[in-house]
Amino acid sequence: MKRILTGDRTTGKLHLGHYVGSLQNRVRLQDEYDTFIILADIQALTTHFEQPELINNSIYDVAIDNLSVGLDPNKITMFLQSKVSAIAELTVFYSMLVSVNSLRHNPTIKTEAKQYGYDDLSYGFLGYPVSQTGDITFCNADLVPVGEDQLPHIEQARKIVRRFNNLYGRGQAIITEPEGLISNTPRLIGLDGNSKMGKSAGNAIYLSDTTQEVNAKIKSAVTDKNRISLRDKGNPDICTVSKYHEVFNYSEYQNICEMCRNAKIGCVACKKLLAKKINSILDPFRDKRTYYEEHKDEVRDIILDGSKRANIVGNETVEKVKRAMSIHIE
Ligand code: TRP
């Protein structure tokens, strides 16, 4: 069976953007692939090192988010990054094969540095794509389902792997070169219509939001600002709610746009339709979430068992890597 490795930083709850960007693909592919889900608590430190409690509390949040959308603990291996020392070891070896300049030019590093207001980057933050290569390769993942913002990191990982294999493989691939898998759903904008949905932007619908929270958030979503009364014709092209209909309510999307353009549906009704649709998607997740919230011990065991397996797999990889690099004594 081929392998998948993907996951999330433990810096807060996951939202609908994560769901359409990556989680949905994980759920779909878990039967076909041996799936590893990383709870990236070390990578979380690269930006949140001053908030260790937040990172720690988010471990359960992110684990339960993943389980609630339908990842099956009997099929997947969910593990905590900090428990797998192979990742840290591989990171050190790989760090020799990456230039500082190539990291500086990584578009996602640039965007995030701006977003967090960094002018002088920490070594750990600048180097997190190298550590992420450790995440991906400790289990020799074939496929990495991620949001499009992660593509530069996959490209970086592929480069490191190729370089490693060329240098140390003596014609053989020691490490598997991974491939990215990007969701074909358009990237979800925030409820404010301005930017991408994000934890920090305060414009997100969380997988853990209640029905009432979803209703209230959608009610306040930004629509076509020029449409003041019900009789005005609307322009769905500049309406956040219409973008959401496109993603979550595709079968009615064309029809709703048509009605909006002809002033046959008002924003209130249109938002209600969307809220209903999104709640109907979230309802089954809510049932699973309730179960796991009430069985935290089970979640703990899932993570600890997963980490054990990840360690076995990772130690094998490190042994192979060290042998290839002649890091041993006879
Ligand atoms: N950087 C990813 C994100 O911000 C999270 C992540 C950490 C990841 N390690 C990974 C994703 C390995 C895919 C593979 O979403």
DSSP 60-126: HHHHHHHHHTT--TTT-EEEEGGG-HHHHHHHHHHHTTS-HHHHHT-HHHHHHHHHHT-SS--HHHH
Ligand 1 atom at minimum distance from 43 CA:
7
Q: Count the Cβ atoms, other than its own, within 10 Å of residue 40.
A: 24
Ligand 1 atom at minimum distance from 141 CA:
14
| Bridge pairing between strands 34-40 and 179-182 | unpaired
C-beta separation of 54 from 98 below 8 A? no
Give the residue, by CA position, lying nearest to ligand 1 atom 12: 6
**142-158 burial, b for 16+ CB within 10 Å, e for fewer?**
bbbbbbeebebbbebbb
Ligand 1 atom at minimum distance from 18 CA:
15
| pLDDT-above-70 percentage for the chain | 99
C-beta separation of 106 from 129 below 8 A? yes
Mean pLDDT of the chain: 95
pLDDT level of residue 75 (50, 70, 90 thresholds): very high
Residue 203 CB less than 6 A away from ligand 1: no
CA distance 235 to 245: 14
Residue 139 CB less than 6 A away from ligand 1: no
Residue 69 CB less than 6 A away from ligand 1: no
Residue 132 CB less than 6 A away from ligand 1: yes
Task: Return the amino acid letter for 284.
Answer: P
Residue 243 CB less than 6 A away from ligand 1: no
| Bridge pairing between strands 77-80 and 34-40 | parallel
Contacts of 212 (CB under 8 A, 6+ apart): none
Give the residue, by CA position, lying nearest to ligand 1 atom 9: 132
pLDDT score for 146: 93
Which among 135, 138, 188 is the best mutation to test ligand 1's pocket, defined by most ligand atoms within 8 Å of the CB?
Answer: 135
CA distance 57 to 146: 23
pTM for the structure as a whole: 0.95
pLDDT score for 82: 98
Judged on CB neighbours under 10 Å (0-12, 13-18, 19+), 16 is buried
Q: Average pLDDT of 103-111?
A: 97
Residue 146 CB less than 6 A away from ligand 1: yes
Domains of the chain (ranges; CATH) run 3-188+296-325 (3.40.50.620), 211-289 (1.10.240.10)
Predicted confidence (pLDDT) at residue 185 exceeds the cutoff of 90: no
Q: Average pLDDT of 54-83?
A: 98
Predicted confidence (pLDDT) at residue 200 exceeds the cutoff of 70: no
Task: Return the amino acid letter for 313.
Answer: V
9, two tokens: 């930083």
Identify the weakest region by mean pLDDT among 6-10, 57-61, 136-140, 229-233: 229-233
Query: Is pLDDT larger for residue 114 or for residue 192?
Result: 114
DSSP 141-186: -SEEEE-GGGHHHHHHHHHHHHHHHHHHSTTS-SSPPPEEEE-SSP
287-320 tens-digit pLDDT: 999 999 999 999 999 999 999 999 999 999 999 9
C-beta separation of 41 from 55 below 8 A? yes
